Structure 1
């Protein structure tokens, strides 16, 4: 995690991805547009070669449905990059203890840590329903920002079987409980 990514996350409340992480995260969106783009290019080719063919009714479904799914998946994946924010009066030592407790409970492996950010990952088994998650925690004065998305170093995934939500909610719950 670079200083630039940390600053961007703190300023915008959204996880910043590198080029290849973006390709991985939004892979399903690109996949949805393969058929509509291919059909469009084929019809444009025919048009410019002066042999246009009419669009068949079956082709309309292959243009509209994947395009709509691609748009829906784009907004879904975009929303997953948003950090959940929790205000706290705890100091860094207390927060680290809570993070270590939750990490042990949910089997996180720490991959990066500095005074402003922590990145952890999970490595669940094959039958768990998830390829793994990437948990990002940012610290900003009296705020902690938490995000959990499907691991960007693994296969692209639309679902984590509730594990991303569990990672975020469990940590936020523990911080709120200790902040009372």
Structure 2
């Protein structure tokens, strides 16, 4: 990592990524904009090249496309916010810092990329927890720490860590406090995560029907194409729905299995 990057991150309190990492981090925005992109191409054919062969008018194309812009904008700001560092004012020695790192890395199987007097960087690998893995960055700056955890931008694009980003940071800070207080390492009993909380139920009541709606629209677009762009739009809608349903159902099944093992 370039030294000037560290200085920039200290000043902006925002994680700096390479170009490819930035593309991966914001890929969900580009993915959602795929269908509006097809519409833009159709509008170009209507008003510029006059080669449009579809049946919808320009106003109809715009009216059925603008709802995709809203989630794209929402995800852009969500992903941008995730690049912010969490600032914690704390006094610590290098020994205390390294001991907290060792405890957390052992517990979460962090793979350390570099660890020097200015910055720490590690990756938590994928382990069937619903997340592809996370990238953890900690910047040391006098009497404060700047901490950030995002979905690993070096792997397949992901927008959900299923709580691991928060867990990475919270666990390290807890370990640092324990080290400063002289509290020895305690054996932790994994508590099964509740998958049917009120918040998750409400989200699924809206998300599942919407995903089924996208799948239905996708099938209709594939088998009743208006032009060559219609099947592509259908495939895009079905892919968005399938990714969410797959990851969410996988977490439900995994946690159900974990809960059953805890009851034995």
Same fold by TM-score greater than 0.5? yes
Could you list the per-position Cα deviations for residues 28-65 of structure 1 after superposition, in whole angstroms to 9, with x for gaps in the alignment? 1111112112212211221124578623547523x222
1:156 is matched with: 157
Q: Please tell me whether the aligned partners of residues 5 and 15 of structure 1 are also in contact (alpha carbons under 8 angstroms).
A: no
Alignment length (residue pairs):
178
Q: Please tell me whether the aligned partners of residues 138 and 147 of structure 2 are also in contact (alpha carbons under 8 angstroms).
A: yes
The counterpart of 2:58, out of the listed 19, 33, 55, is: 55
Q: Please tell me whether the aligned partners of residues 131 and 154 of structure 1 are also in contact (alpha carbons under 8 angstroms).
A: yes
1:6 is matched with: 6
Gaps of 5+ in 1: none
Higher-Rg member (1/2): 2
Q: Does 1:114 align with 2:135?
A: no
Q: How far apart are the structure 2 equivalents of 1:20 and 1:159?
A: 19
The counterpart of 2:102, out of the listed 95, 100, 103, is: 100
Secondary structure of the corresponding residue to residue 41 of structure 1: helix
Could you list the per-position Cα deviations for residues 98-147 of structure 1 after superposition, in whole angstroms to 9, with x for gaps in the alignment? 1111111121110112210010001122x320111110010000011111
2:26 is matched with: 26
Q: Please tell me whether the aligned partners of residues 29 and 75 of structure 2 are also in contact (alpha carbons under 8 angstroms).
A: yes
Root-mean-square deviation (CA, aligned residues, Å) is 1.9
Q: Please tell me whether the aligned partners of residues 135 and 148 of structure 1 are also in contact (alpha carbons under 8 angstroms).
A: yes
1:84 is matched with: 86
Q: Counting strand residues as a fraction of each chain, which structure ranks higher?
A: 1
Gaps of 5+ in 2: 182-264
Q: How far apart are the structure 2 equivalents of 1:23 and 1:174?
A: 33
Secondary structure of the corresponding residue to residue 149 of structure 2: strand
1:172 is matched with: 173
Larger relative contact order (CA 8 Å, sep ≥ 6): 1
45 and 158 in structure 1: CA distance in 2 versus 1, 3 angstrom threshold? same
Q: Please tell me whether the aligned partners of residues 39 and 61 of structure 2 are also in contact (alpha carbons under 8 angstroms).
A: no
Q: Please tell me whether the aligned partners of residues 35 and 66 of structure 1 are also in contact (alpha carbons under 8 angstroms).
A: yes
Q: Counting helix residues as a fraction of each chain, which structure ranks higher?
A: 2
Q: How far apart are the structure 2 equivalents of 1:55 and 1:46?
A: 8
Could you list the per-position Cα deviations for residues 58-115 of structure 1 after superposition, in whole angstroms to 9, with x for gaps in the alignment? 7523x22221111011001001111111111111221111111111112111011221
